[in-house]
A and B are shown apart, each in its own frame.
Chain A
Amino acid sequence: AQSVTQLDSHVSVSEGTPVLLRCNYSSSYSPSLFWYVQHPNKGLQLLLKYTSAATLVKGINGFEAEFKKSETSFHLTKPSAHMSDAAEYFCVVSAQSNDYKLSFGAGTTVTVRA
């Protein structure tokens, strides 16, 4: 079985300040982990993914995430928020034992204040 918990349902930051979105996962097998972003009424866009290579993963638009097996975490960060980062973010886990299934977190809504 696998599951994902996004620890914050809503995060509000000022433009130019760091962003931290927290994600914990559980998986019986070596997981693949993803972060997706969704702007209002749009589909999901992949930000980055971890598949057992480097534990620090760099993605698009200045985002990065660190896989910490001991803490079962995969937190997403960005050093300096931009107004265009306002969106909903989903942490997603996929386990090698189960070919098709992605488990999605409930999402974190990011608001960026000018």
Chain B
Amino acid sequence: DGGITQSPKYLFRKEGQNVTLSCEQNLNHDAMYWYRQDPGQGLRLIYYSQIVNDFQKGDIAEGYSVSREKKESFPLTVTSAQKNPTAFYLCASSISGGASDTQYFGPGTRLTVL
């Protein structure tokens, strides 16, 4: 069964902690993305990667970091520098990152700061 998995589904963070969100895909896609979703807003791009060992900042990268050591994995770390991290985080992938490529989304991780 091909698709994108994200874990955990729910995550709670204390002030000053770094947390890592997992994203794995078995679609053999080259490009992967991280988005943040806040209530009443569309998705905003945090980071994206079009190939292994390379990634680029999106519109709201401050306070986040990523790695892309394997084609199928693109973990996102929310650092303590992110002042308002409570949000729904969505990972996506596409075949090559082209403008007309469909992006396929995972089920999301809801992060709450305690």
On A, residues with C-beta under 8 Å from B are: 4, 9, 32, 34, 36, 41-46, 49, 51, 90, 94-107
Contact = CB atoms under 8 A, between A and B. Distances in A.
5 contacts: A36-B105, A43-B4, A49-B102, A90-B42, A100-B45
Contacts of B74: none
Given A43-B4, A100-B97, 9 more contacts: A4-B42, A34-B102, A41-B88, A43-B107, A44-B105, A99-B97, A101-B45, A103-B42, A107-B41
A101 B4 CA distance: 20
Contacts of A101: 45, 58
Contact of B110 (A41, A49, A90, A100): A41
Chain A to chain B: the 3 pairs with minimum beta-carbon distance, closest first: A104-B42, A43-B105, A32-B100
Contact of A42 (B31, B42, B98, B108): B108
Interface in B37-96: 40-45, 48, 50, 56, 58, 88, 90, 92
Contacts of B20: none
A101 B44 CA distance: 10
B50 A100 contact: yes
Contacts of A102: 43, 45, 103
Contacts of B50: 99-100
Nearest to B41: A106
B108 A107 contact: no
A87 to B, nearest CB: 14
Given A99-B97, A101-B45, A102-B45, A42 B107 contact: yes
Contacts of A106: 40-42
Contacts of A100: 31, 33, 45, 48, 50, 56, 97
B88 to A, nearest CB: 8
Interface in B1-59: 4, 6, 31, 33, 40-45, 48, 50, 56, 58
A32 B41 CA distance: 21
B99 A45 contact: no
